[in-house]
A = this chain, B = another copy of it.
Amino acid sequence: MTKKKVDLLITNASELITLQGWSQKPALAVQMRDLGIIRKGSIAIHNGKIVATGKASEIERTFSGKESIDATGEVVMPGFVDPHTHLVFAGFREDEFEMRIKGLSYMEILQRGGGILKSVQETRKASEEQLVENCKKTLDIMLEHGTTTVEAKSGYGLTLKDEMKCLRVIQRLNKEHPVTVVPTFLGAHAIPAEYERNADEYVKLIIDEMIPAVADQKLAEFCDVFCEKEVFNKDQTKQILLHGKTHGLKPKLHADEMTAFKGAELAAEVEAVSAEHLLFASIAGLKAMAKKHVNAVLLPAAAFSLMLSRYANARKMIEIGIAVALGTDFNPSCWVENQQTIIALACRQMKMTPAEAITAVTINAAHAIKRAHEIGSLEPGKKADVIILNIPNHKFLGYRFGTNLVNKVIKEGKLVVDRE
């Protein structure tokens, strides 16, 4: 029998983590612990897509690779999907980090004109070109740490012109960088200084001008709102998200991050694709989310960086049957590019097992950005976004922390990172 020729074989992984079976619906409850592991597993890749996965002996009997990577003793798994980042901004906020150490809260810093509004000032000043360069540096680091798809929000422009600029940056990144970037419009990230006493006016601007323009130019897939006390209230959030929906922008929302604000309930009501943070979500709200299949995107690095004493109740969400995903929340006050760090935090601070956390940064993260049909698991027909980790089994993710365990990154069939 002649073997079928393919572009690339990755052979003999100690664990080939396929995560197969959850492409139609996310992994829920105990399913989150079922990684679809093939021991001594191989994967065949052709034209940037996965052709087959299976036992090494079987794959090597069927296929021959133009190129081949030996993964003996290593873990092979889908590239990380980061479903929540504020990728596009200018400047840094290291001074504010020190203020937080000394006890100032996020809202206090925001009210002093710091926080998001400082980044807004700098982002408005920055050219599209400068922003593209900043983002490429970040995406390089993300890719080096195994992230192959990232959701990216606007939200540091807060004018029609500047929000459009940030979304065009994302559009360009998609063409100019190997990482896939999924765009979200977050004009409702903060109330800009010029609308300080007139939030409703700003909401009107978002609805009347920004959303139509974004939709018209197809610059975003999702519309997100920072629904929070002293930011956007529930009515404003609902208006924006429902209006976004009518323009084809799927709803997401920052919900119950700092206070119990019934954001989870609202996420269910508007049938959001995902609700993010959820530290103060009520049980009733979580149950409503489960019923409406709203994904939870948990962001433990935000709680860690804001030095909150609370983390989202991941165990309760998993028990209730919510699809839990994990993201970095990369932003100027939570400067972390590495989903391995998020796994380490999720295991320790939210008591997720390594298997649950892995599901949350792959297939469930893909569901949270409506990409599960093409990424997030290693199954025939999906994009060959694959990472190879220098660890003998998946339980080392979380257990070992603080260093990069990813050795190689394959993006749509191409070896784009090789750290050996």
Interface residues of A (CB under 8 A from B): 92-95, 97-98, 101-103, 141, 145, 301, 304-305, 307, 335-338, 340-341, 347-348, 351-354, 392-393, 395-396, 398-404
How far in angstroms is the closest Cβ of chain B from A349?
A: 8
10 CB-based A-B contacts, threshold 8 Å: A94-B395, A94-B396, A97-B347, A97-B395, A145-B402, A301-B402, A336-B401, A336-B402, A337-B403, A403-B404
Measured between alpha carbons, how far is A396 from B98 in the docked complex, in Å?
A: 10
Measured between alpha carbons, how far is A97 from B98 in the docked complex, in Å?
A: 32
- Whether the Cβ atoms of B341 and A401 lie closer than 8 Å is yes
Contacts of A353 in B (CB 8 A): 98, 101-102
Contacts of A401 in B (CB 8 A): 305, 335-336, 341
Specify which of B94, B101, B304, B400 is in contact with A393 (CB 8 Å cutoff).
B94
Specify which of B94, B307, B393, B402 is in contact with A340 (CB 8 Å cutoff).
B402
Measured between alpha carbons, how far is A101 from B396 in the docked complex, in Å?
A: 13
- Whether the Cβ atoms of B354 and A98 lie closer than 8 Å is yes
- Whether the Cβ atoms of B398 and A97 lie closer than 8 Å is yes
- Whether the Cβ atoms of A396 and B338 lie closer than 8 Å is no
- Whether the Cβ atoms of A403 and B97 lie closer than 8 Å is no
Measured between alpha carbons, how far is A301 from B347 in the docked complex, in Å?
A: 14
Measured between alpha carbons, how far is A337 from B402 in the docked complex, in Å?
A: 7
- Whether the Cβ atoms of B395 and A98 lie closer than 8 Å is yes
- Whether the Cβ atoms of B101 and A403 lie closer than 8 Å is no
Contacts of A396 in B (CB 8 A): 92, 94
Known: A94-B395, A94-B399, A98-B354. 19 other contacts (CB 8 A): A92-B399, A94-B354, A94-B393, A94-B396, A97-B399, A101-B347, A101-B348, A101-B352, A102-B353, A307-B351, A335-B399, A336-B400, A336-B401, A336-B402, A337-B403, A338-B403, A340-B402, A341-B402, A404-B404
Contacts of A338 in B (CB 8 A): 402-403
Contacts of A393 in B (CB 8 A): 94
Measured between alpha carbons, how far is A404 from B341 in the docked complex, in Å?
A: 12
Contacts of A307 in B (CB 8 A): 348, 351
How far in angstroms is the closest Cβ of chain B from A170?
A: 22
Contacts of A402 in B (CB 8 A): 145, 301, 336-338, 340-341, 402
Given that A92-B396, A94-B396, A98-B395 are known contacts, is A348 also in contact with B305, CB under 8 Å in the complex? yes
How far in angstroms is the closest Cβ of chain B from A37?
A: 15
- Whether the Cβ atoms of B145 and A395 lie closer than 8 Å is no
Measured between alpha carbons, how far is A341 from B338 in the docked complex, in Å?
A: 13
Contacts of A101 in B (CB 8 A): 347-348, 351-353
